[in-house]
Structure formats: structure tokens, C-alpha cells
Amino acid sequence: MNPKFQRFGVIDYRIFNADVDGKTKIDHVKDMLQNLVYHQLFPFGRVLMDTWYAVNSFMLYIDSLDRIYYCPLKKNRLVDDTFAKGKDKPIELLEWSTEELEYGKIIKIKGFPAQKKVKLFRVAISTNRTDYVATNDLSQSSTNFVQEVCKIRWRTEDFHREIKQITGIESCQCRKARFQRNHIACEMLVWIRLKNLAYQTGQTVYQNKHRFLSNYLIQQLKRPSLPMCLV
């Protein structure tokens, strides 16, 4: 995701198949991050994720790569803001001062090394929803900034919705794993092409797909590529 131009795309992906390779989803994400860092394929400074990936091992791994993470934590995640042994409590039970609501608070997550602290922000998403977002950037002091960063993460949901609705990526009828992988790769390429056209034309991927199908249908009605006759 390029926050300056508000554009996003796919630079890598993995197919989860633990029965074959024995890798968890966390393992796949680590592989992709390591690939980016080792080969310097794409410069990045921040890693965003949802609560499912916000596990201790992955957060510490990102920290070891000298990258910054922003991740929402579940409300029952045990943390400590007093730094007293045995004082861990669920995040939702933390008390927040007016200053901490604006600037965040330093906490320790249960299971983290003793010296590893993170900064926690209480972000109001809506009137009935509040997220607790942790980052290893201890210098961060703006809840509003954290809220804007978290909005970028929703582009992942946009991608999932678009590729399912415009490419039929879930509709593969093949049974062999190789053909299924080829199908997924082809649909990825279709989405990338339509997304690039959307950025160039200022239209959505849905408008571009409809335009292509409409033009093709008109062309075929005028000059059919496959002549047919009725008997």
C-alpha cells in the first residue's frame, strides 16, 4: 500500500496447504516478509495486520526485522501497565486517563521478554466499537495518527472483495492442485490488470469489467467470431 497515492496492489501471496508443506499462516507471512527484506524487492517501514496475526512470535519477528508494526489486540489479551509482576489483566479492564487516550500508554504484553515494551492506543472505530492497537514505535504519540494508519489496513478487505466479485477466483472446477494454483495465479493477474486500469481511468474495477464485457458483447453481436446457424 502506498499511503501517499492511496494505491495498493499484490506483490506476493501464498497458498495455505499445511497438509503438504506443514506451514502455518504465520509461517507464510514470515516467509513473505523475509523475502521482501532479504531481496529488497519493495521498501516498506510498517506492517499492518488484524488480530488473528497479532501473536507474540510474529510481533517479535517484525521487531527483529527493524520494522514497525501496528496491530489490534483482542480485548481479552493479557497486558500490564504497572510493570509489577503478576499484575496482568485483560486489555478491556485497563484504566485510561485523558492524556493516555490522546497519546497512548506504555504496556507490557504477557509472554513478551521483560525488556520489550509496546505502546497501546485506544481507538474509537464507531459509537459501539473500540479497538486497542499496539505498536513497537514507542515514540508514536498520536491516537489520531494510529487511527489513520489502521484505516489503510482495510484495503486488504477491499482486495478480497474485489477479486472474489470480479474474477471468480472461488469458482474453480478443477480437482488437481496444480490446476487450482494456476487458476488462482491467473485470477490474480486479471485483478492486477483491472486495478491498474482503474487507477489510470479513474473508474472502479467493476466499471472497467462491465465496460470490457459490454464492448465485447456489442462487437460479437455485430461481427460474431463464431458463425452459427439454426436448423
Separation between Cα atoms, residue 15 and residue 80, nearest integer Å = 37
In a domain, 70, yes or no: yes
SS3 content of the chain, % helix, strand, coil (to 5): 45, 15, 40
Mean pLDDT of the 170-192 span: 91
Start-to-end CA span in the chain (Å): 56
Question: For the chain, how many structural domains are there in total?
Answer: 3
In a domain, 3, yes or no: no
In a domain, 190, yes or no: yes
Mean pLDDT of the 198-208 span: 90
pLDDT at 226 over 80: no
Which is nearest to 67 in space by CA: 40, 41, 47, 52?
47
Q: Per residue in 207-218, pLDDT tens?
A: 988 888 888 788
Which pLDDT score is estimated for 228? 64
pLDDT at 109 over 80: yes
For 88, the domain range is: 46-151
In a domain, 227, yes or no: no
Q: Are 167 and 191 in contact (CB under 8 A)?
A: yes
Q: Give the predicted TM-score (pTM) of the model.
A: 0.81
Residues 79 and 170 in one domain: no
Which pLDDT score is estimated for 75? 93
Which pLDDT score is estimated for 85? 74
- Write phi, then psi, for 22 (nearest 5 degrees): 75, 10
Residues 128 and 182 in one domain: no
Which pLDDT score is estimated for 231? 55
Mean pLDDT of the 72-82 span: 93
Mean pLDDT of the 200-205 span: 90
Count the neighbouring beta carbons within 10 Å of the beta carbon of residue 110: 11
